[in-house]
Structure 1
Amino acid sequence: MKELLKNRTFRKTFLSYTLILGIPIIIFSILFMYTMIQEEQKKIYESYTMDANRIRRTVDDKIMELKDIGDRLSNKTWVRKSLINTDIYKEEFDLFKKQEMKQELQHAIGESGILSFGVIIYPEQKKLLSPWGEYTTEEFFSTVSIFDPSIKELVDQSTKEYHILNILSPTTISLWGNKRQVIPVIQSLEIANQPRAVLLLFIDPFYLSSFIHRMAGSSLSYFKIVDEVETNIYTQNNSVKESQDFEKLLAFNLDSEVCQWQYFIYYPNTILTLHFPKIVSTLVSILLSMFAGIIVAFLFAKVSYKPLDALLKKITNTLQYKPVEKQKESLWEYRWIEEFFDHLVIKNQNLQEAMDGYKKAAKSNMLLRLLKGYFQGDGLTQRLQELDILYTDEMYYSILLIHFSFLEEKQERSLDERKREFMILMILEQVMSQPHIQYQLVEVTTTDMIFILSSNQSFDEEGTFPIKDIKDQLEKHMGVIPDIIQGPVEKGLLGISKSYYGANEELQYILFHKKNMVYTQETYHSDFYYYPTDWEVQLINNLKTGNIDTLTRILDEIKQENEKRNLSHEGMTNLLTIIMETILRVIKELKIDGRIYIKQFTSKIEIGNIEELWAYIYEVGSLICERVQYSNAPSTVEVGNQILLYINNHYASPEMSLKKLSEVFNMSVSKVSKLFKEVTGINFYDYICRLRIEKAKELLREESFELSTIAQQVGYEHVYSFRRAFTRYEGIKPDEYALQFSSNLNTK
């Protein structure tokens, strides 16, 4: 972990994942706390709402108790009888009855708990019943309870109208000479437009405040009751000191359901104190979430950093590259990778330069191989295209060979001579700019310059290529005339080699002629066969690899080229002998017994038939290739060679057969036959018959043996079998062959 934290990229990745995971955790925690606060506020608001409604209902219930007082009194018998303005019930209202009526009124007023006193007014009778007895209206309001004139007028007017419950604004009265605040309440005791009895109650604000204070409690901050004209009925202030404080409180504005009062209730806008365990559990949950987020961020960073770490280790260990900043305590990995890629770019540039050099060398080598003769046809065109050599087998080619004799004897050239050579090349390229002929310069030696001329159409007509113009330009500008030879125009890629060797032979003739060699051009060409060393090397290689198709093509080209030269019989025989010697060298390297091939070729040389010699060269080459192809394992070759050696030593025995070989080498007949075919390329009976016939031909040429004797010496028990086999392989009878050989010998 400590090593990881040293890496700048890992730290940045770890920090990024921490932020990615930490920010949602923080947001979630904030949302959780916000939701919790909202829930608490909702609970508080609901609690305050319930409490405000409770206060309103309680006050309304208390007001309804006042109405109940009027309802109870209106049902009293003595109240109903008092409504009648006659003397019918006068005798019933004696002193005791009036005392009882006064007590019932006092009792009803006292039950409410908020009333100061009350009276029953009889407007028609202009009298009233009070807790202190009966009075006339004028007497009571002038001596006992004195009102303000305006209030007195309002009360008088209200008593003449029907009111279920009419609460007037607070006012000040003088009761028995004592001033006090009261709230008049008027209630008709009779349902009529002009009721005959009206209950006038006086609410004592002090009693009302005491009741509300006990009922509301101290949880609210401010409580106010106003009437319909916004006259203050009641005020309770627990915490409001300034008018701005109201903005911080939760306000509830409720209307009374029984009168015209309005209730303004204010509560503190604060969150209820959370329980300590709940706070602790919330904080612990947040801290645990943050810690878990850090751990997960570290794991994510480690997983994300793993491929980069593996890449850096691979760069360091496998590719053996160490950054320049390796010694620094804090390493930026991407800077490291950037340095590595810069290093790779430089290496790639060097590699590209090396590849360009290789391609240039490969192109030069390919051109040289085309000059020497390139017989590997498979994939050659594609290989030429890869090297930007646009040659095909359908094009025509010729070689222009320029020999600088004045540079021939010097190993090193001076600067002036190099400039002169460069000028020669410029003149050559200028003169050789033909519209339909392309050229490719190949520098072979310090004295020879070779141009490969190519075209999609033949250009072998005389005068097509301006050799004379080249010589004239060189003589005019440089004062020198090099030897310039154009080889014959040939079609196909192999024609490049043919044209080159033709031009080279022409150059050799010119050089010989300059040295006064006793050769004419005709004798030079008739005495020298066409068998380039490079072609001989390819012939050997294809024999060793068993490539019979390419071998046949090489032999075809050698044969055709030499037939064009009209070689003498002796020259062609020498050529075939050289080719056979090449084949025999390969046979010896392959550890094959070549005595039979030597004998057969010698016998054909003695006959002197050139076509038979060529046919035999083709046949031996094919046999060698087939043997190489069918030699699958070293053990097979070794056993096959042993069988072949045994046959070569015992072919003259009449007992020689596949059965005899199976007994000698402890194999089945079929296995011996198959193994022999894989090693030699021909079946057993054809091979042994050829050996016997070749031996018989030698004996026939000696003219000292009878046919029966020759037949027995080469392995035939009967002359008839010998005659039939000889005729089948040679096309003539044995005695006719002996006669023909004697005639040819006498002719020579």
Structure 2
Amino acid sequence: MKKNPVRLNKRSVWMTWLISYISVLLVPILISGILYTASWHVVESEVNRANNYALEQMEQAIDNSLGGIERLSMEISLNTRVNAFIATNQPLKDSDYYDLVSIASDLRVYQTANDFIEQIYIYFRNSDTVISSRNRTDSRTLFGQIEGDERKGAESWREFFDKQYVQTYLPVTIQDDAGPYKAILYAKSVSLTNRDQSGAVLLFVIKDTKMLDNIPSSEAAGIAVLDADNRVVASSGLKESPAFLQYDKLSGKSGLFYGDVAGEEAAVSYTTSARTGWKYISMIPAELFDDKMRVMKTLVYASIGLSLLLGGIMTFVFLRKNYYPMHLLIRSFSLKAGISFAEGTNEYGFLQDALNNTFAEKEQVDRRLHQHRDAIRSHFLQGLLKGRLDKDVPVHESLSAHEIQLISPHFAVLLFHIDDFGKLQPDIAADPQKMKLLQFIVMNVVEEVIGSGNQGFTTEIDDMQACILNFGEERDPEELLRIAEQVQSFLLEHFHVDLTVAISGIHEDLFGIAHAYQEALSAMAYRLVMGSGKIIPFAALPSTESARQAGSYDYPLHVEQQLINFVKIGDYDNAQRIIHLIIDNNVSDSALSVPLGKCLMFDLAGTLLKTMDDIGAQSDKKTLIVQMDAVERLTSCETIREMKQEILAILEQVCRGIQMDRKPEQNPLGEQVMAFVRQNYDDESLNISMIGEKFGLTPSYLSKQFKTQTGDSLLDFISKTRLQEAKRLLAEQTMPVAEVARRVGYTDINTFNRAFKKFEGITPGKYKGIQG
């Protein structure tokens, strides 16, 4: 016999293995190519993502600053001195010069409010006066220093700014003592109630270098900001403007394409500002991708080469080595069985023909089936519960094979969930396999309790014990409750094991078992609402119609806010009362469904966690709250009642900590609010909402507590405090009534008059005359 003979006919196993090995050899080569392609896309995507992130940061920073400038322009437009000076004509009087100094002082304050602002100018058309934070000049001097893409010279700019209404951003070049510099000019008209009167124009000068200071560091070769009129607002790293730098070519909110930048290919990313419509553009050299992929390309080529070389050698060696046992086996069968192996025959076909006698194997299979009968029977019962019956095998044959004899066509399903392991808890914690013992005990107790009138088939399914109850002559639903109660009481008395039992309705035929199982699952899911250790018949669940009519649970926003306020002030009694009220009102309603119950649990947990987070952020309770591990305790609850207990326990800890921190000498809320009003009565924005934000309380709760503690309305107390100071000022006879109103916090003289007459019975003017 020749050693390792090679059979090269096309039906030989040798040829089959050779093709298989070559196919396997191609797998790493194909994978290398795929990895290379995927790596290229990943690197490209990561670089582009980083670039887009930088653009978004730049967009957000610039838009926020521009938004601040626009808000600042509105604030300046409402400035009383600015509005008063609009009507001033030439020549200016001494009082006008005083107003100019005041306006310039205000502009210096406004200028410091935004780091983007290089200078602020106000152009008053009526008096041809330009005021900045540094000096006063006229329009010809200012506009002569400004050059734009479309305008140059004082007359051109004056014609543009003398329009009825102006609000725009313009890229300009400004000449000053230090030399020319590029900037962005934001111009906005000061709106007037009288449209025929000449108004004023606010001019904000923004240096483009300050704007580009907000650009995060990146590998971009160039950065540009393009406005909707195709003007380059600002740029960095660009010696010349690329051809693609046109607003119309950058379609969509964002995108990526490749273009030519100074003779080099670059990846161009852009995004569009929702506020200004500007395009923020970043250009990255394409060679960055090649640099990052060069090492990967070398590794891939080396991997392919080694795969071909070593794989070819190993294929040939192992092919010959693996075929030799096959050759010996064929020869052995050929000699001992007297069957000749014909040339051109497949080796596997020869072996299949030689192994026709399968009786020994059949006996072995039968023995194994007998050994695993219980597991197979359990699998069959699980199939009945889930409606997975083998359609190719008659049902009566399957029942007979598993030694199941039915006494009636009526069935029900009971599900048992172990809530507390009782005496077996230490054993199960030490050896999880003891869980099988407890499940075996439960199933045996169930079968014993069922008795002889009915019969039950038990199995373990989805971490629960299921019993298919086959009724005898009587189909009494109360029998199901009896079985559940006896099983519960027996296990609780002897093993301290606590069970939740779900009971289905009664159904006919084997195909009704799956329906009964789904009903039992629905009843078990209602454990969320009912709580652990209950017997839950499916018939007791809220109907679909009642659940649909209910549609929600009762947890109003004002109740949630009351709960938050009570927790923040450490009022455990009232917080506990609200928790009881919320849960009892919902759980006692039979129409509460399982999904709504889960939503209620999540809402309660969210309210408590949000409140605790606020307490931790506003006090030194952060460490205590973290140690309580409230998130883990609340999310681990399986029923609403468990969550109720956990919430009350956590609330008690939090409220006790807040109460302990309170010192006896601290003033009540009413006295604190009264002191705050007396200190801030002249603030025009003083109101209940502003005070509520100061003390971290809602306006309604603050008003109610103030009324309870002081007996006076908070609004009336604010008015009385202001009017007390107003009477003092009126008695001094040193200022007009309008100035007195402004001094005590009233922006409207009519509001001041009404409040004064309400509490004093006369108008402020008459009161001043009486005092004089």
Report the TM-score when normalising by structure 2. Answer: 0.33
TM-score of the two chains, using structure 1 as the length reference: 0.34
**Higher Cα Rg: structure 1 or 2?**
1
